[in-house]
Amino acid sequence: MKARWCLLALGLGLGVSHYHCRTRCGGTSIVHLFEWPWRDIAEECENYLAPNGFAAVQISPPSENVVVTQPWRPWWERYQPISYKLCSRSGTEQELRDMISRCNKVGVKIYADVVINHMCSASAGEGRRSTCGSYFNAREEEFPSVPYSASHFNDDKCTTASGNIENYQDIYQLTASAAQVRDCRLVGLLDLAHRKEHVRERVAGYMNTLVDMGVAGFRVDACKHMWPEDLKAIYGRLHNLNTEWFPEGSKPFVYQEVIDLGGEPIKASEYSRLGHVTEFKYGAKLGSVIRRWNGDKLADLKTWGESWGLMPSDQALVFVDNHDNQRGHGAGGASILTFWEPRMYKMAVAFMLAHPYGVTRLMSSYRWDRSLVEGRVGGSCQDQNDWMGPPSYPDGSTKPVPINPDGSCGEGWVCEHRWHQIRNMVMFRNVAHGQPLLNWWDNGGNQIAFGRGDRGFIVINNDDCTLDALLQTGMPAGSYCDVISGQRTAAGMGCTGKRITVGEDGRAHFTIKATEQDPFVAIHAGSKL
């Protein structure tokens, strides 16, 4: 059973647990189906993600949250918990349970985004405006459905005048600054005291409910704002994964949101011994390279990884954009690429999926009315409509995700993960898993190529002139189908895109015009004709 499972895990890319992953399986791709309803995620696992080799889905926070109407509901209300009951804008507890089970059955793992640093905003008032209708009183810090009351919050420890985090980077008072970030309120959100036994027990209880339901792990929100030793105590209480789907003794895979672009007292490395950590420098730096800002060029990516100041690869959860920085929240700055700039975005995602660094996460978004206002917030353009929730009906409920006959999504859902270039690169990463980066080539500017052992090869032209080169691919001789301009037909003989011929000496000729819609080519062992 164990051997069979690991083969499956290997095929899908991501190992079953943090510990297995490190030693045996390596990792490939998680897709964040941001704000998707549970029912649609279940269908997507069965109809699309499993057949296309996606390893896992990150789901939006499943816990009960405050309902914010202004007059429409912002996406960010889900980051303001009211209790750990499991009804949310994505669906009921039963729908969540059904989705987790159906995804597990087809080998797609579920990672839940858990908001455990805080409860709702101190200014959220009182009443039952919550997604399961639970009563709360934010002013008095009463959340009877957990239950939490005033003594479970950090007010006694926070020393800022406002009670909020006022300064992330007081370089003259490093210790006090770190304490402020962890003991005061993040944008006014009631800050839980995780040193207290009751809080640890409730939080671990919530996470264990999800583990027992079959999730494979967690994206832990706002870890910078919690003390590592408290997180360690909480993770230490987590159950092993449900043996209905996972081998006995498997631990949850944990990746922690810590924004560390440098220059602050709190470092991502403080969290890496507890689990994986989000590497925010990845998308910020890669965006700058693809945009060719400040003289950055693709050829510089030859040394991509730790020497760029990124954390060690086996600790990093990487992404081109996330739900925050695609709309000017969080951090990363103006260089972040998103679906709004599809040509550069696809190039960045393809590079990420071809390159061995890190565990990769893809973003799957919805469109919003994007009228940029003047000015910048936190280094990036602040979007006037940055709050807009998912496509929804007038009563505030989320619309389902309709799939068009051509495989794209309707109703404002973007579904980047269904763009064929991205989908096919997910498979490239699976096929190339565990293979070293070899046969790097560049023109000193914005044309690069590299291979992954003898399993895959990618060529990217981000210059203003044609790329025309005979390159060593390291691949076995034969005819391959480029998975960017097309793909192999079902029977395996035909190719709807460019054909690339690799000679007996492993070399192949590539031509990519600078004007092409997608100026990159990728071939792999699975695209051989």
Query: Residues in the site for ligand AAO, rule: CB under 6 A?
Result: 76-77, 79-80, 115, 121, 168, 186-189, 221-222, 224, 257, 259, 261, 264, 324, 329-331, 333, 378-379
Q: Which is nearer to ligand AAO, 34 or 457 (CB)?
A: 34
Cβ–Cβ contacts within 10 Å for residue 319, how many? 28
Q: Which residues contact 483 (CB under 8 A, 6 or more apart)?
A: 421, 424, 425, 427, 428, 497, 522, 523, 524, 527
Q: Which residues contact 23 (CB under 8 A, 6 or more apart)?
A: none
Q: Which is nearer to ligand AAO, 378 or 436 (CB)?
A: 378
Q: Which is nearer to ligand AAO, 236 or 262 (CB)?
A: 262
Query: What is the biggest distance separating any 2 CA atoms in the chain, rounded to whole angstroms?
Result: 75
Residue 35 tokens, joined: 């704000």
* Closest of 253, 118, 88, 258 to residue 199, by C-alpha: 118
DSSP-derived secondary structure for 199-261: HHHHHHHHHHHHHHHT--EEEETTGGGS-HHHHHHHHTTPPPPPTTTS-TTPPPEEEE-----
Q: Which residues contact 112 (CB under 8 A, 6 or more apart)?
A: 58, 59, 61, 62, 210, 215, 217, 218, 219
Residue 66 tokens, joined: 């405050």
DSSP state at residue 396: S
Q: Which is nearer to ligand AAO, 191 or 518 (CB)?
A: 191
Residue nearest to ligand AAO (CB): 378
Cβ atoms 80, 185 nearer than 8 A: no
Q: Which is nearer to ligand AAO, 414 or 481 (CB)?
A: 414
Q: Which residues contact 393 (CB under 8 A, 6 or more apart)?
A: 399
Cβ–Cβ contacts within 10 Å for residue 125, how many? 13
Which stretch of DSSP H or E encloses residue 376? Answer: strand 372-377
Cβ atoms 60, 36 nearer than 8 A: yes
What is the nearest approach in angstroms of ligand AAO to the Cβ of residue 181? 8
What is the nearest approach in angstroms of ligand AAO to the Cβ of residue 49? 23
Cβ atoms 120, 189 nearer than 8 A: yes
What is the nearest approach in angstroms of ligand AAO to the Cβ of residue 335? 10
Q: Which is nearer to ligand AAO, 163 or 478 (CB)?
A: 163
* Closest of 359, 364, 366, 384 to residue 374, by C-alpha: 384
- Active-site annotation, residues: 221, 257
Q: Which is nearer to ligand AAO, 280 or 413 (CB)?
A: 280
